[in-house]
Amino acid sequence: MKAFAYARPGSIAEALELAGDGDDTQTAYLAGGTNLVDHLRLGIARPDTLIDLSRLDFGGVEETADGGLRIGANVRNADLAADPALRRRFPFVSEALLAGASGQLRSMASTGGNLLQRTRCVYFQDRSTPCNKREPGSGCSALDGYGTYNALIGASEHCVAVHPSDLCVPLAALDAIVHVTGPGGERAIPFDQFHRLPGDAPERDTTLEASEIITAVEILALPWASRSRYRKVRDRASYAFALVSVAAAVDVADGVVTDVRLALGGVSHKPHRARAAEDALRGQPATPAAFEAAIDAELEAARPGKDNAFKVGQLRRTTVAVLTELTQTEGDRP
């Protein structure tokens, strides 16, 4: 591991001063450390200075005036998953957190760090292989290599990796807002604009600017999201990253889908909001045939490779199953 200096600022202002307006390869922020410490050890992250944000008080889980929730960036994944207001109003967010990692990792990992975790592409983690995300211009080993986890939608010739977070899938469905503070002040980034597609700059996972700090994630009120579900398909029953995952919330009246939110994980460089499927389903009867037509409309954009074509059928079956379960039950929740 390369040597680095360590600082534990007492405030956001102090942290920003330490980070300067500089290049984020020279400084790195530390929260729970579950991704960054691994990357320091693997030599993927090589900062000169580590700025420890883990003790800054960004607030807990608080109800907002409009009936949504504001989640401080340092709220640990385990604590967020157990939060009663989150579980009642947005159960699929809790389910997604609980489907991720392990008990130990969830009790360390922060909300902000979860959004910024980097891909699990095996070549990204192996410094002996070319990887445009780790070393821009070196090439992409996954294009012709091990491709089971490769993206189906929105990949480029420069990178075919997927975003690994479970939490981010329901957050995409909910149009969450990422609150950040940087040298230029505060901004609020809509979730859909937070993570990016690889294009010709796969080294950039997000639109966060150098030195910007995530302070909170806000979920806007959506009363019918109490009827929501997250389902993750993986190689083991527990403690494995997703092959694919589906986050769905649905509002039904008289057997008709009045509104729906759908997002897919394991599919793209960013948590994938399935807007084509949503548009196809709104106003349709809540039947498996309509659900299948809707997900098929979304999957028209899929460009499977040699190892990951099975994910298309997996997404279709999982989406239909989740929507069917959600709409079969009376009342708010089965």
Partner 1 sequence: MPDQHSHPTTLTVNGERHDLVLDPRVSVLDALRDRLGVTSVKKGCDHGQCGACTVIADGRRIVSCLALAVSYDGAEVTTAAGLGSVGALGALQEAFVDRDALQCGYCTPGQVCSAEAMLAEAEAGMPSHVTADVAALDPVRLSPEEVRERMSGNLCRCGAYPNIVDAILDVAGERGLA
Ligand X SMILES: Cc1cc2nc3c(=O)[nH]c(=O)nc-3n(C[C@H](O)[C@H](O)[C@H](O)COP(=O)(O)OP(=O)(O)OC[C@H]3O[C@@H](n4cnc5c(N)ncnc54)[C@H](O)[C@@H]3O)c2cc1C
Which positions lie near ligand X, rule CB under 6 A?
28-36, 38, 53, 73, 100-101, 105, 108-110, 112-114, 116-117, 164-167, 213-214, 241
Report the nearest approach of ligand X to the CB of residue 273 (Å): 17
Report the nearest approach of ligand SF4 to the CB of residue 304 (Å): 15
Is 202 a binding residue for ligand SF4 by CB under 6 A? The answer is: yes
First CA to last CA across the chain, in angstroms?
50
Which positions lie near partner 1, rule CB under 8 A?
1, 3-8, 30, 33-34, 37-38, 40-41, 50, 52, 54, 76, 78, 81-82, 84, 87-88, 91, 94-95, 98-99, 101-105, 107-108, 226, 237-239, 332-334
How many C-beta atoms lie closer than 10 Å to residue 324's C-beta? 14
Report the nearest approach of partner 1 to the CB of residue 334 (Å): 7
Q: Where are the beta strands (DSSP E) in 157-288?
A: 177-182, 185-190, 213-219, 228-233, 244-253, 256-265, 272-273
Q: Using alpha carbons, list the distances in angstroms from residue 217 to 174, 210, 259, 285.
A: 11, 19, 23, 34
DSSP states along 161-187: -----STHHHHHHTT-EEEEEETTEEE
Task: Indicate which single residue of 124, 149, 230, 291 sits in contact with ligand SF4 (rule: CB under 6 A).
Answer: 124
Report the nearest approach of ligand X to the CB of residue 164 (Å): 6
Give the C-alpha separation, 180 to 194, whole Å.
Answer: 11
Name the H helices within 300-334. Answer: 310-328
Task: Indicate which single residue of 77, 132, 215, 327 sits in contact with ligand SF4 (rule: CB under 6 A).
Answer: 132
Report the nearest approach of ligand X to the CB of residue 280 (Å): 28
Is 159 a binding residue for ligand SF4 by CB under 6 A? The answer is: yes
Partner from partner 1, ligand SF4, ligand X, none contacting 165, C-beta within 5 to 8 A by type: ligand X
